[in-house]
Amino acid sequence: MHELAERIQAGDIRAMARAITLVENNHPDKLTLLSDVFSIKKQAHYIGITGSPGAGKSSLVNRLLAHLRELGLTVAVIAVDPTSPFSGGALLGDRIRMQQHFTDPGIFIRSMATRGSLGGLSRATKDSIRICDAYGFDVVLVETVGVGQSELDIMKVVDTTAVVLTPNSGDVLQIFKAGIMEIADLFVLNKADLPGVRKLKVQLEELLMISGQTEWVNPIIETISTENKGIDALWQEFVQHRTYLDETEAGRKKRKDQLELEVYDLMREELWKDVQAFVEADEAKQEQLKEDNLDPYEQASAWLEEWKKQRGRMGSS
């Protein structure tokens, strides 16, 4: 077993943090480490919280953390921030917003950047969830900034997805068009003390009826995170959904589908790294990429064929 995996299993939090850094940096030992980590997973509840900026997600997470600690549960938080396509940097603001929990040994907080992932979440996010699970946390919370592809990608890496909405934000029609209705397991109407919460709830209920849900009907929970209202009800719904996943055929199928997607994602990532290295190692190819009249379709097809032939020769040697 990988040395870091052994230390994680023994409860070494420094080893856990080191392992997350290793997978973020795409270390050559990554797949070996993660395979060992997967073998010692402890079945934490993976919860995703997403929604538009300004919906109060971080305040909600803060309250939920306090509630879970009162229940005696340990929690890891992975806060995913978008990476700038220009500077490569990320805001990582959740480190500031959750600073009151930093001294609690039962809470671990890690901010992560999307790092130009093809989706909204980096591959390292799922790997980090697994590492936190192997360490022994009861709950792993993943909070996304809630823009673009992140909202759709989160369903691939967590057990339960909560979409946070606020009254008068105009989010309902947008999430319906974007397909987020299909990925949400429950809806949180935060800032429920604002006017328009009743109208928002009715709209959601009507859209849920149209979507024709059968096995699991998405609950709609009203919260006021600034006043710590509705947090216990929210947690109870998370627990109910975990039970649904564990005890129903539809729930078990969801988990199997996630694992299938993960296998393809891992293969896609490894193939992409191999192809990219193949192109970047050839100066002539790099020069071709700079040509004004480059035909991307023809070039991609030609290089892929060349790459496959090279891989074939390597396999036969």
pLDDT at 86: 33
Say if residues 112 and 124 touch (Cβ distance below 8 Å).
yes
Residue ranges per domain, the chain? 1-40, 42-247, 262-316
Reported as a single tens digit per residue, the pLDDT across 143-202 is 886 555 555 677 778 999 998 888 876 656 666 555 666 778 999 999 999 998 998 898
pLDDT at 89: 38
Determine phi and psi for 292, rounding to 5 degrees.
-65, -35
Q: At what angle do helices 249-280 and 231-247 cross, to 10 degrees?
A: 90
| Domain at 42-247: CATH architecture | 3-Layer(aba) Sandwich (3.40)
**Segment (H or E) for 222:** strand 220-222
- Strands of 139-144's sheet, edge to edge? 107-113, 75-81, 139-144, 45-51, 160-165, 186-189, 220-222
Please give the Cα distance from 163 to 146 (Å, whole number): 9
Please give the Cα distance from 245 to 162 (Å, whole number): 15
Computed from CA positions of residues 233, 67, 92, 185, in that sequence, does the dihedral angle turn out positive or negative? negative
Please give the Cα distance from 2 to 37 (Å, whole number): 9
Query: What is the number of residues in the chain?
Result: 317
pTM of the model as a whole? 0.84
**Segment (H or E) for 20:** helix 13-24
Closest alpha carbon to 47 in 142, 149, 152: 142
pLDDT at 234: 97
Place of tokens 């991609």: 300
Per-residue pLDDT for the chain (317 aa), expressed as one digit of tens each? 899 999 999 999 999 999 999 988 888 888 899 999 999 888 899 999 988 777 888 889 999 999 999 999 999 999 886 543 333 334 444 455 566 666 788 999 988 865 544 444 567 888 999 999 999 999 999 988 655 555 567 777 899 999 888 887 665 666 655 566 677 899 999 999 999 899 889 888 888 887 766 678 899 999 999 899 999 999 999 999 999 999 999 888 988 988 898 888 888 888 988 999 999 999 999 998 888 888 999 999 999 999 999 888 766 55
- Lookup: tokens for 155: 């369903």
Please give the Cα distance from 114 to 121 (Å, whole number): 5
CA 79 to chain CA centroid, Å, is 9
How many alpha carbons fall within 13 Å on the CB side of residue 125? 34
Place of tokens 């005696």: 72
Closest alpha carbon to 48 in 39, 57, 35, 37: 57
Please give the Cα distance from 292 to 311 (Å, whole number): 30
